[in-house]
Chains A and B, each alone.
Chain A
Amino acid sequence: MDAVVVDGLWKTFRLPHEKRNTLFEQITGTLYGKKGYEEFVALKDINFTVKKGEAVGVIGENGSGKSTLLKIIANILRSTRGSVKIQGKITPFLELGVGFQPDLTAKENIYIYGAVMGLSDKEIDARLSEILEFSGLNQFQDAKLKNLSSGMQVRLAFATAIQTNPDILLMDEVLAVGDMDFQQKCLDVFQRYLKEKKTIVFVSHDLNSVRRFCSKALLLRHGEQVAFGETNEIIDKYVYGVDDKATHADNRQSEPKKEEGKIEEKKTRWGNKKVKITNVRFIDKFDRENERFMSKDPLLIKIEFESQEEIINPVFGVIVHDEKENWCIGTNTDVVNLKTGKIKNFKAVELNIEKLPLNQGIYFVSVAVVSEDLKETFDYLDKMYKFNIINTSKEYGRFLADYNWKLIGENRYGPKKF
C-alpha cells in the first residue's frame, strides 16, 4: 500500500519586485504596466512514493525545497504542476502550539490545540490527565497560557500533539528545539510511532536521526530531486555529492570562494614565491573534489605548485585547525624525512589521510612550502582553505579514536567483548 505518492511535482513561487498588497497598488501597478514579479522554481519534477509504515527522511541544504515539499504534501501549499496522492489521515508537525491563545488557560488551550490537530473533546477528556502529567503542568492547568514559561508552552503543545492518531506524520525539525531531555522525549515518541507502523515523512538536518529512524531518504538540491533510496546510500550522496549535477554545483560554488581568497591574500598569504602553490584540492573516497567528508573516511589533500627556479628538497607542510584555531593535525615532509628532490620536475604533492580522526565541525587548512633548512618561506597560505566534517555516530569530543569497550568480571569465559 502506498501512503504518499508524489508524481511529477513542480512548485513555482512568484517573488514580487514590489509587493502589491493593496487594491490601490494593484490598480496603479497595472496602469503603469510593470511586470510585478520574478519566478522562482522551488521544486523541479519530484517523484517518490512512501509505502505505508515506512519512514522517509528528506535531506538537503537550506533552501533546497524540503519544507516546501512537506507543506505541499500537507496541502498547505498547492503544487504548480504534478500531483500528490495521500492515503489516510495526515497530521503535519511543522510547528508546535499552532493556534495557541495566550489569554486562555492551559486547559482551554489543550482543547483548542487538540481541535486544530484533529482531536475531539471526548478524546481529549480521556487523555487530559495524561497530557497534564506529561507536560508537568498539573498545578498550572488553570493559569493563563501567557503566564507560563516558553518551555512549559512547548511541553504542553508537544504533549497534546502526540495524542493525535494520524496515519501519516509530517515532521519538520520539531526535534531540533528544546533541551536534551525534551529531545530525548521526542525521540521516544518517534520510536513509538515507528513501532506502531505509522508512515512518517521527516525533514531534518540531523543526518544522525535520519540514519537512525528512516529506512529511506530523499535528497534534494536546489529544488531538484538528486536521489531517492536506501538511507545510507543517500547520506553518502549528500555528504560527497556523488553525481554529475553535484560537481557542477560545486564548481559554481567554488569560484566565488577563490575570489574571496584573493581578496584576503595580503593578510593570509606570504612568502617569496620561489615555489608557488597554485591550488589545493580536497579529494574524497570517490576521487572527487569535495569540501565535505565523513569522519573516519579517507581524505586526500593535493597541493599543486609551480616553480621557476631549481629548488632542492623544499619542505611541504599542512596544518589542520579547528574553529577555535587549535592545531588538530600538523605535518610536513621534513618530519617524515621525505626528500622531495629537484622540485622543478614535479607538479603536485599529495597528503593522504587514510581515516579522518576528526569529529563533526568546520576545519581550516594552512598549506606551506619552505626551504630545506626551514628558514626561507616560499609560500604560506594561512587557513585559506576549509572543509566540513560530518559524523553520523554520536560520539562527543573533537577527535575520534579506534576503540572498543570491554566489561571485565567474574564470567568464567573471560572478558566479554562487545
Chain B
Amino acid sequence: MHIISNLWDYRHLTLKLAISEFKLRYKNSILGFFWSLLEPLLMLLVLYVVFTNFMRVNVEHYQLFLLMGIISWNMLSRGTTMSLNSIIGKPGLVQKVYFPREVLVISSCLTALLMTLLEFIVFGLFMLIFNVMPTITIMYFPPVLFVEFLFILGLSLGLAALNVYYRDMQYIWAVVMQAGFFAAPIIYPVSSIPEKYVWIIMLNPMTRIIDMLRGSVIYSTPPVFGDGIFILAAALIVLAAGYLIFLRLEPGFAEEM
C-alpha cells in the first residue's frame, strides 16, 4: 500500500514521460502516425493473403480476427520491448535524480498502450468497412484490455530490471516474442489445434486474452467467467513476480549502468 501511494505521488511525472515519449514517436515525420500503422496493416495484408488463399483457414470475419490478434499481440511485444530499454536507455534520469524507478517502466507501458489505442481506432474503421457492428458485449473490451496491461506491466518490470544486469535479455526476449507470435492463436483459431494439445496453448494467458477481446468486439460473445478469473489471476501473479524481481534488483541500478 505504501508503495502504491508513493507511486501515486509520481503519477504526474509518469504521464509526462509517457506522453513525451509518445509525441517523440510521431514527431520526426509528419506521416509518423501513418507509418506506425503501416506495419501492422502490411502484416495483416501478407498474412491475410497467405492464410485465406493457401492455408484455407476457415474463420468468420477472418480479416478482423487477424487484425485484432495482431494489434493485441503487438501491444504485448511493443510494451515489453520498450520497457526493456526504459531503464538502461535513460542513464541520466537513473544516475542523476531520484524518483521511484518503476515510473520509467510504467511510463513505457503507458506509451505502448497509447499507441495501441490508436491502432484500435483504425480497427474501428475496419469494422465499419466490413460492416460488422459491435453489440453490448463490447463493454467487456476495456476490462480485458486492462488485464492485458497488468500482464504486460508485470513482464516489463521483471525484464527491465534483469536487462540492467544482463544486457542480452533483450535479444533473448526478441526470440521469445517471435516464437510467441506463432504459438498464440493470432493467425489461426484455437479450434484448429488438435484436441490433445489445446491445454498447452491455453496455458498462455495471451490465448484467452486475445480470444476474449475478439469475442467481445467482433463476435458478440461475452467472456466465460472462468476464463476471466484465469487471466486476472495470471496477470496478478506475473505482476507480483515481476515486481518482486524489480524491487530486488532496483537498489543496484545506478551502479550497474
Report chain A residues within 8 Å CB of B28.
Answer: 103
A103 adjacent to B166 (CB under 8 Å)? no
Which of the segments B89-97, B111-119, B138-146 contacts the partner chain?
Answer: B89-97
Decide if B255 is an interface residue (CB 8 Å cutoff). Answer: yes
Which of the segments A54-62, A108-116, A383-391 contacts the partner chain?
Answer: A108-116
Which of the segments A93-101, A177-185, A353-361 contacts the partner chain?
Answer: A93-101
B97 adjacent to A94 (CB under 8 Å)? yes
Decide if A303 is an interface residue (CB 8 Å cutoff). Answer: no
A120 adjacent to B12 (CB under 8 Å)? yes
Cα–Cα, bound, A174→B169 (Å): 36
Report chain B residues within 8 Å CB of A116.
Answer: 13, 93, 97, 99
Residue of A nearest to B171 (CB): A22
Report chain B residues within 8 Å CB of A21.
Answer: 165-167
B27 adjacent to A103 (CB under 8 Å)? yes
Cα–Cα, bound, A117→B94 (Å): 13
Decide if B175 is an interface residue (CB 8 Å cutoff). Answer: no
- Which of B98, B168, B169, B172 has a CB less than 8 Å from the CB of A76? B98
A77 adjacent to B254 (CB under 8 Å)? yes
Decide if B20 is an interface residue (CB 8 Å cutoff). Answer: yes
Decide if A23 is an interface residue (CB 8 Å cutoff). Answer: yes
Decide if B226 is an interface residue (CB 8 Å cutoff). Answer: no
Decide if A92 is an interface residue (CB 8 Å cutoff). Answer: yes
Report chain B residues within 8 Å CB of A121.
Answer: 12
- Which of A71, A112, A118 has a CB less than 8 Å from the CB of B20? A112
A115 adjacent to B16 (CB under 8 Å)? yes
Report chain A residues within 8 Å CB of B23.
Answer: 104, 108
Q: How far is the CB of A47 from chain B (nearest CB, A)?
A: 22
Report chain B residues within 8 Å CB of A399.
Answer: none
Report chain A residues within 8 Å CB of B57.
Answer: none
Report chain B residues within 8 Å CB of A111.
Answer: 16
A24 adjacent to B96 (CB under 8 Å)? no
Decide if B37 is an interface residue (CB 8 Å cutoff). Answer: no
Decide if B194 is an interface residue (CB 8 Å cutoff). Answer: no
B97 adjacent to A101 (CB under 8 Å)? no
Q: Which bracket fits the contact residues of B?
A: 20 to 34
Report chain A residues within 8 Å CB of B251.
Answer: 78
Decide if B125 is an interface residue (CB 8 Å cutoff). Answer: no
Decide if A75 is an interface residue (CB 8 Å cutoff). Answer: yes
Decide if B245 is an interface residue (CB 8 Å cutoff). Answer: no
- Which of B12, B165, B167, B254 has a CB less than 8 Å from the CB of A115? B12
Q: How far is the CB of A174 from chain B (nearest CB, A)?
A: 11
Decide if B17 is an interface residue (CB 8 Å cutoff). Answer: yes
Q: How far is the CB of A251 from chain B (nearest CB, A)?
A: 33
B172 adjacent to A23 (CB under 8 Å)? yes
B92 adjacent to A99 (CB under 8 Å)? yes
A108 adjacent to B166 (CB under 8 Å)? no
Decide if B176 is an interface residue (CB 8 Å cutoff). Answer: no
Report chain A residues within 8 Å CB of B98.
Answer: 74-76, 90, 92
Question: Do A115 and B17 form a contact, CB below 8 Å, given A13-B255, A23-B172?
Answer: yes
B16 adjacent to A76 (CB under 8 Å)? no
Decide if B128 is an interface residue (CB 8 Å cutoff). Answer: no
Q: How far is the CB of B158 from chain A (nearest CB, A)?
A: 14
Question: Do A95 and B96 form a contact, CB below 8 Å, given A22-B166, A23-B168, A120-B12?
Answer: yes
Residue of A nearest to B253 (CB): A76
Cα–Cα, bound, A104→B16 (Å): 13
Decide if A26 is an interface residue (CB 8 Å cutoff). Answer: yes
A92 adjacent to B96 (CB under 8 Å)? yes
Cα–Cα, bound, A94→B166 (Å): 27
B16 adjacent to A112 (CB under 8 Å)? yes
Cα–Cα, bound, A334→B68 (Å): 99
B16 adjacent to A98 (CB under 8 Å)? no
Report chain B residues within 8 Å CB of A78.
Answer: 251-252
A98 adjacent to B93 (CB under 8 Å)? yes
Q: How far is the CB of A46 from chain B (nearest CB, A)?
A: 18
Residue of A nearest to B250 (CB): A78
- Which of A104, A117, A118 has a CB less than 8 Å from the CB of B27? A104
A101 adjacent to B20 (CB under 8 Å)? yes
Q: Mark A70-94, 1 if CB is under 8 A from B, else 0.
A: 0100111110000000000010101
Cα–Cα, bound, A116→B13 (Å): 6
Q: Mark B148-172, 1 if CB is under 8 A from A, else 0.
A: 0000000000000000011111001
Residue of A nearest to B90 (CB): A99
Question: Do A115 and B13 form a contact, CB below 8 Å, given A99-B90, A103-B28?
Answer: yes
Residue of B nearest to A90 (CB): B98
Report chain A residues within 8 Å CB of B255.
Answer: 13, 77
16 A-B interface contacts by CB (under 8 A): A21-B166, A21-B167, A22-B166, A22-B167, A74-B97, A74-B98, A76-B94, A76-B254, A92-B98, A95-B96, A98-B92, A98-B96, A104-B23, A104-B24, A111-B16, A112-B17
Known A94-B97, A101-B20, A112-B16; 5 more pairs at CB < 8 Å: A76-B254, A77-B255, A98-B93, A111-B16, A112-B20
